[in-house]
Structure 1
Amino acid sequence: MRHPPRSVLAAVAGAVALIGSVTVPVVTASGAAPACSVEYSVTSQWDSGFQGAVKITNNTAAMSSWSLAFDFAGGQKLTQGWNAKWSQSGTTVTAASESYNGSLATGASVSAGFIASWSGSNAVPTSFKLNGTSCNTAVEPSPTPGPTDPAEDGPPVLRVSGNKLVDAGGATRRLLGVNRSGGEFMCVQGRGIFDGPVDDASVKAIADWKANTVRIPLNEECWLGLSTIDPAYAGANYINAVKDLVAKVKAHGMTPVVELHWTYGQYTGNSAGCSDVHASCQKPMPDMQYTPSFWASVANTFKNDRTVVFDLFNEPYPDRATSTTTQAWQCWRDGGSCPGIGYEVAGMQDLVDSVRGTGATNLILAGGIAYSNDLSQWLTYRPADPAGNLAAAWHVYNFNTCANESCWNSTLAPVAAQVPLVAGEIGENTCAHGFIDQVMKWFDDRGLSYLGWTWNTWDCSSGPSLISSYDGTPTAFGTGLRDRLRALNG
């Protein structure tokens, strides 16, 4: 259990003018119970600061993680907190569950406290949301989004049926398209949100290749609006930019896949991409400190639009840190204290639970170990999904270990026989398309899905890029994917 530092308590004791607890009452419609209730208390206050607390009660289905959001109405600034991961973006304050208090059964309560500064007014917040659901007021039942909600000419609502992805009518669907990189790195580098244009014309150019899917890599610190990120590129600004791109992708009839790429947590071991604790490179595994909150927020944002697909984590590589493959797969699924990784890991089960805890039933993708190139024990360690809507993700480049048909036949085919298989990234560093031609044929022969890396105008040898211009002009590498997509969907 966390408590305020002694230095803070001492300062409060010396300067505080103790006031009575100010509590926000629970207001409900006659005979109706709120989905959740929040009691907000100002327990002590002094000239420039105050100590507050929240008590959260969950009146709906049990949840494995929670995130409370409310707005300071008087210019207050959060300085620290305990019993939750506290953060502030603009006026919005978020308290996300810790690993030890995330489980909240029906009727159960949890409390957390904080210190904040104030001047002029210390107005009490008037509204609270728990995992995106309004608290303290009765919630009128709303219709569950149905599989026919999206416009008929939009992308389908996808669900898992055996080893296939199917639409509302039961027809088999494949995810065939591209990655649109930028959202994972531009914001954390202070250079913007996306790399290159994401206007309607640039998205239409993707559709003109006859792609039906666009994968959008994201950064958890930018989405959550943590203080290390330029506010212009973080929090609500970042989220709105992602939502806008998702809407443009859908407007052109394509499926949006939102994917977590860069995360928090210091790792300096084998194959480390950076020594920075912040989300400035690919880490071996997601972190428990922020990633469950990220996925709870993303799921709440898109849970009423089941055309959006969730890809949990780009390229796990716990196998580079652990001594054995078994340890790597256990870390992958269960998280916790993983050998060789210095931060608490969020396993794939934690992330599935975070998504499903919001009520979201969207299709989820989970990539394996070895940078998502190894699925050899994916079936053994796959996380439990109460919605039954989980598919396997796989990445391959010409320089990976599993980059030949023998490996695909021995490790991919058994997975694809039981669950849908999506190659979330395919590519090569040769500036040609001979390798991905082999990959695409193998996947086409089996009716599987694949997405090319990447729809960006980079040097194709340093980072495989499909285009030389955002009008859709292909590189020599991109020509292979474009021609294949047009042949399949033209």
Structure 2
Amino acid sequence: MRHPPRSVLAAVAGAVALIGSVTVPVVTASGAAPACSVEYSVTSQWDSGFQGAVRITNNTAAMSSWSLAFDFAGGQKLTQGWNAKWSQSGTTVTAASESYNGSLATGASVSAGFIASWSGSNAVPTSFKLNGSSCNTAVEPSPTPEPTDPADDGPPVLRASGNKLVDAGGAPRRLLGVNRSGGEFMCVQGRGIFDGPVDDASVKAIADWKANAVRIPLNEECWLGLSTIDPAYAGANYINAVKDLVAKVKAHGMTPVVELHWTYGQYTGNSAGCSDVHASCQKPMPDMQYTPSFWASVANTFKNDGTVVFDLFNEPYPDRATATTTQAWQCWRDGGSCPGIGYEVAGMQDLVDSVRGTGATNLILAGGIAYSNDLSQWLTYRPADPAGNLAAAWHVYNFNTCANESCWNSTLAPVAAQVPLVAGEIGENTCAHGFIDQVMKWFDDRGLSYLGWTWNTWDCSSGPSLISSYDGTPTAFGTGLRDHLRALNG
């Protein structure tokens, strides 16, 4: 969904070019079984910096906290990190556990990531120590454990089974909830991370509507901590804020859906949202320069938590740039050099591959073209998913082309017959709920999922808003969704 007008910061730096992701093998000495195993990888690299990751496996007695140390051998300088307390003294880098991931049982693994600068060479560290014990990094990496359900009152681990979403026990599940906008635009505008409060009380207010899911839009430049973003709202600070909101959503029994909304890449063609190369508006497709790295980082952050759902890209619209619908769908799936789009595109297949390359098996949503309102060829062009855990995403507003039951019957029903279908955004700009009432009934009759746009206190006529206060006071539009959810789930 497009947003109410916002002031946007001017671009202050040029683009950098990433090279391909590389996993770096490290040679080990022979001998007794190692006390620990470390996988070190360079997930992306550009002319003056790179993004790296470590995966630590504990092969000894359980520990309540951990500290990994290794030496940079090529003059690299750490700039930021996540999932650990990162520091550097001379050439020695230390990653110490956070309060939430310090417990490491025998055989258990934990991952952390960082960004660093380099020049001359980007030599790979050759030795690692965990709590003072030397690690042997040549062992085969442990497979990512199959995520397990949290406490009984928490959200389920979801899987696509045929055309249904099911929990670990095979019971059908639906995602019924709201969007919580803010994380996609506040940071790039230098005004914060979220729009309005995201404290426990405000999240509880969503749960009080009997919602069971919250979609959280994100910004790739803010997550990756690029230099154009105020550091207070970028990198580790941004990531930790997102993780904190995800934890609050889960604590209230709701499924978090993390979604990539705004991305890098200059597009000034038909229906352009802005002329800015930076992630300050909706672009027709994600970019190859940063988006695969974004999803690799997000997937690494949440891959051991199968309750978190990944929504690959908000509202693709390559159809506005290309000459034919076939070109649009080819661009959507395959990316590359797409007609009418001046930057290299990351297709849906690229993004699925980025997620699955981390070992993450989380449910993935992929929206169609025409701002996710057209699924007419989704089945023909759907990306291959080695985990078999892919669902179709769809958006609808009263002003969209496919906004009537005839279109839904002809284009949505065939998709919903084969794969799970999630309406990631439903809404109307009438400040009423007559239209979404029709949408919800069509989806209810087929046991499908939907989430209202949006849990923000905007003027509903300029950007459909469900609430007038973060205590959950609904607008006239929001009353329709609230009462419907309470009737279904009360």
TM-score normalised by the shorter chain: which range applies? 0.7 to 0.9
Q: Distance in 2 between matches of 1:263 and 1:16?
A: 14
Paired residues, number: 490
Contact 1:65/1:357 (8 A) holds in 2: no
Determine if contact 2:267/2:274 at 8 Å carries over to the other structure. yes
Q: Is the 8 A contact 1:64 1:353 kept in 2?
A: no
Which secondary structure does the structure 1 equivalent of 2:143 belong to? coil
Matched position secondary structure for 2:168:
coil
Larger displacement relative to structure 2 (136-145 or 468-477): 136-145
Matching of residues 228-307 of structure 1 within 5 Å: 228-307=228-307
The structure-2 alpha-carbon separation of the partners of 1:470 and 1:9, relative to structure 1 and needing over 3 Å to count, comes to closer
Q: For 1:8 and 1:185, how far apart are their aligned partners in 2?
A: 9
Which deviates further from its counterpart, 451-460 or 25-34?
A: 25-34
Moved more, 66-75 or 216-225: 66-75
Secondary structure at 1:14's aligned position in 2? coil
CA shift digits 1:450-486 (9 cap, x unpaired): 0000000000000000000000000000000000000
Matches within 5 A, 1:70-469: 137=137, 144-146=144-146, 148-469=148-469
Report the CA distance between 1:81 and its aligned residue.
Answer: 19
Judged with a 3 Å threshold, the aligned counterparts in structure 2 of structure 1 residues 58 and 233 are, in CA distance, closer, same or farther, namely: same
Q: Which moved more, 1:121-130 or 1:107-116?
A: 107-116
Moved more, 83-92 or 140-149: 83-92
CA contact (8 A) 1:190 1:233 kept: yes
Tell which deviates more after alignment, 90-99 or 333-342.
90-99
Do the aligned partners of 1:2 and 1:82 also contact (CA within 8 Å) in 2? Answer: no
8 A Cα contact 1:428 1:436, kept in partner = yes
In 2, the alpha carbon distance for the partners of 1:486 and 1:276 equals 42
**Shift of residue 110 of structure 1?**
24
Secondary structure of 2:258's counterpart equals strand
Give the secondary-structure state (helix, strand or coil) at the position aligned to 1:8: coil
User: Structure 1 145/342 Cα, relative in aligned 2: closer, same or farther at 3 Å?
Assistant: same
From the superposition, tell whether residues 142 and 481 of structure 1 become closer, same or farther in structure 2 (CA, over 3 Å): same
Partner of 1:201: helix, strand, or coil?
helix
Structure 1 10/21 Cα, relative in aligned 2: closer, same or farther at 3 Å? farther
How many angstroms does 1:263 deviate by? Answer: 0.1
Q: Evaluate the alpha carbon distance shift between residue 381 and residue 243 of structure 1 in structure 2; reply closer, same or farther with a 3 A threshold.
A: same
Q: Contact 2:267–2:277 (CA<8 Å) still a contact in 1? A: yes
**SS of equivalent to 2:204:** helix
Cα deviation digits, residues 174-232 of structure 1 (max 9, x gap): 00000000000000000000000000000000000000000000000000000000000
For 1:3 and 1:85, locate their aligned partners in 2 and report how far apart those are by CA, in whole Å.
35
Alpha-carbon distance between aligned partners in 1 of 2:428 and 2:132, rounded to the nearest angstrom: 41
Change (3 A) 1:162 1:395: same
Q: Which moved more, 1:179-188 or 1:67-76?
A: 67-76
RMSD between superposed Cα atoms in Å: 10.8
**For residues 292-350 of structure 1, what are the alpha-carbon distances to aligned partners after superposition, in whole Å with 9 as ceiling and x for unaligned?**
00000000000000000000000000000000000000000000000000000000000
- The Cα shift of 1:11 comes to 29
Cα 1:480–1:13 shift into 2, 3 Å = closer
Write out per-residue CA displacement over residues 213-271 of structure 1, whole angstroms, 9 at most, x where no aligned residue. 00000000000000000000000000000000000000000000000000000000000
| Cα separation, partners in 2 of 1:6 and 1:216, compared to 1, 3 Å | closer
Within 2, Cα distance between the matches of 1:252 and 1:349?
Answer: 33
The separation in 1 between residues aligned to 2:323 and 2:22, in whole angstroms, is 53
How high is the TM-score relative to the length of structure 1?
A: 0.77
**What is the DSSP-based 3-state SS (H/G/I as helix, E as strand, rest coil) of the residue aligned with 2:10?**
helix
CA contact (8 A) 2:180 2:215 kept: yes
Once the 2 structures are TM-superposed, how far is the Cα of residue 152 of structure 1 from its aligned partner? 1.7
1:128/1:258 CA distance change after superposition, 3 Å: farther
Tell me, yes or no, if the aligned pair for 2:11 and 2:228 is still in contact at 8 Å.
Answer: no
Greater CA deviation, 113-122 or 455-464?
113-122
Greater C-alpha radius of gyration: 1
Q: CA deviation at 1:150?
A: 1.4
The answer to whether the 8 Å contact 1:426/1:453 transfers is: yes
Cα distance change of structure 1 residues 350 and 206 upon mapping to structure 2, 3 Å threshold = same
- CA change 1:403–1:86 in 2 (3 A) is farther
Secondary structure in 2 aligned to 1:203? helix
Separation in 2 of the partners of 1:294 and 1:424?
A: 20
Distance 1:344 1:5, change over 3 A: farther
- More deviation in 107-116 or 96-105? 96-105
Question: Which whole-Å CA distance do the structure 1 matches of 2:464 and 2:356 have between them?
Answer: 34
Q: Deviations over 1:366-391 (max 9, x none)?
A: 00000000000000000000000000
Q: Deviations over 1:114-138 (max 9, x none)?
A: 9999999999978899999999635
Please state how far the C-alpha of 1:15 moved relative to its aligned partner.
28
- The answer (yes or no) to whether the contact 2:459–2:465 under 8 Å persists in 1 is yes
**How far apart, in 2, do the equivalents of 1:467 and 1:297 lie?**
32
Cα offset, 1:151, TM superposition: 1.4
Give the distance between the partners of 1:220 and 1:45, measured in 2 at CA: 16
1:28–1:34 contact (8 Å) kept in structure 2: no
Tell me, what secondary structure is at the counterpart of 2:260?
strand
Aligned 8 A contact 1:269 1:321 in 2: yes
Aligned residues of 1:84 and 1:98 also touching (Cα < 8 A): yes
The superposition leaves residues 141-184 of structure 1 with CA deviations (integer Å, 9 ceiling, x where unpaired) of: 76854454411211000001100000011100000000000000
Q: SS of the residue aligned with 2:11? A: helix
Deviation, 1:291, is: 0.2
Q: Is contact 1:423-1:450 (8 Å) kept?
A: yes
Structure 1 window deviating more from structure 2 (37-46 vs 399-408): it is 37-46
TM-score by length of 2: 0.77
Judged with a 3 Å threshold, the aligned counterparts in structure 2 of structure 1 residues 452 and 148 are, in CA distance, closer, same or farther, namely same
Please state whether the residue corresponding to 2:165 is helix, strand or coil: strand
Partner of 2:81, secondary structure, is strand
* Kept after mapping to 2: 8 A contact 1:273/1:281: yes
Higher mean displacement: 87-96 or 106-115: 106-115
Alpha-carbon distance between aligned partners in 1 of 2:445 and 2:25, rounded to the nearest angstrom: 61
1:242 match: secondary structure = helix
Q: Say whether the 8 Å CA contact 1:25–1:136 is kept in structure 2.
A: no
The 1:54–1:485 alpha-carbon spacing in structure 2 relative to 1, beyond 3 Å, is: closer
Identify if the C-alpha distance between structure 1 residues 392 and 78 changes in structure 2 by more than 3 Å, giving closer, same or farther.
same
* Contact 2:221/2:264, CA 8 A, preserved across alignment: yes
3-state secondary structure, aligned to 1:79: strand
Task: Provide the C-alpha distance between the structure 2 equivalents of 1:277 and 1:44, rounded to a whole number of angstroms.
Answer: 20
SS at match of 2:12: helix
